[in-house]
Chains A and B, each alone.
Chain A
Amino acid sequence: QVQLVQSGAEVKKPGASVKVSCKASGYTFSRNGINWVRQAPGQGLEWMGWITAYNGDTKYAQKFQGRVTMTTDASTGTAYMELRSLRSDDTAVYFCVRDAISVPGIWWFDPWGQGTLVTVSS
């Protein structure tokens, strides 16, 4: 079955960077985009951006432009999200989630990774 498995929890200091990985299995990795969504403690869901492994195209939420980089490694079927210049309000669970449809376009999400807690604290 389709599965996304994310890397483990991270603790970072303000100003540092974090890189979260998301390993896909159960489908052809290059056919579906991968989105990153975060959720601060007790808060709602916030879309950060999207990447397609097909050609590396990305779309970032304006809020994260210049601070986030999303990449993929087709050889391992893994997506990465790097967030730089971390602040305390970046403390959140970060989810990777696949585009449900494997054709170009904007789609709903399915399935979701299990989430990675990133804690930013001095």
Chain B
Amino acid sequence: EIVMTQSPATLSVSPGEGASLSCRASQSVSSDLAWYQQKPGQAPRLLIYGASTRATNIPARFSGSGSGTEFSLTIGSLQSEDFAVYYCQQYNNWPLTFGGGTKVEIK
């Protein structure tokens, strides 16, 4: 099983600042990496797939990068609606696995 590790667990950021979230895979997943955003009481929402491709209607301030085992999600100039939990997920091989999540909170 491919283990996905996200860091940090919590990120405190002031509105308008940028944020960088990290996701590491225990073995190469090529670019088969997706990012999801989840707000309290809601289902997750797809942000990024293929490590760097924004999903439909996702603002340009969200960007993904990386390949192999190291990935990052960058949020430029955080808006109030961006404070949420972010999960990475690999879909390179079964079983599909998620990272533990990074909570982006208001500083």
Interface of B, secondary structure class, is loop
Cβ of A47 and Cβ of B34 under 8 Å apart? no
User: Could you tell me the distance in whole angstroms from the C-beta of A107 to the nearest C-beta in chain B?
Assistant: 6
User: Could you tell me the distance in whole angstroms from the C-beta of A85 to the nearest C-beta in chain B?
Assistant: 20
Q: Is B105 an interface residue (CB 8 A)?
A: no
Number of A-B pairs whose CB atoms are under 8 Å? 56
Q: Is B60 an interface residue (CB 8 A)?
A: no
A114 nearest in chain B by CB position? B43
Chain A residues within 8 Å of B45, by CB: 111-112
Please report B residues at the A interface, Cβ cutoff 8 Å.
Answer: 32, 34, 36, 43-46, 49-50, 55, 87, 89, 91-101
Taking CB atoms and an 8 Å cut-off, the chain A residues in 73-122 that contact chain B are 95, 97, 100, 106-115
Cβ of B55 and Cβ of A45 under 8 Å apart? no
Please report A residues at the B interface, Cβ cutoff 8 Å.
Answer: 35, 44-47, 50, 59, 61-62, 95, 97, 100, 106-115
Cβ of A100 and Cβ of B43 under 8 Å apart? no
B38 nearest in chain A by CB position? A45
Chain B residues within 8 Å of A97, by CB: 43
Cβ of B98 and Cβ of A106 under 8 Å apart? no
Q: A113 to B91, alpha carbons, bound, how many Å?
A: 19
A-B pairs with beta carbons under 8 Å apart, 19 shown: A44-B101, A45-B87, A47-B97, A47-B98, A50-B96, A59-B95, A61-B95, A100-B49, A106-B93, A106-B94, A107-B91, A108-B34, A109-B34, A110-B46, A110-B55, A111-B45, A112-B44, A112-B45, A115-B43
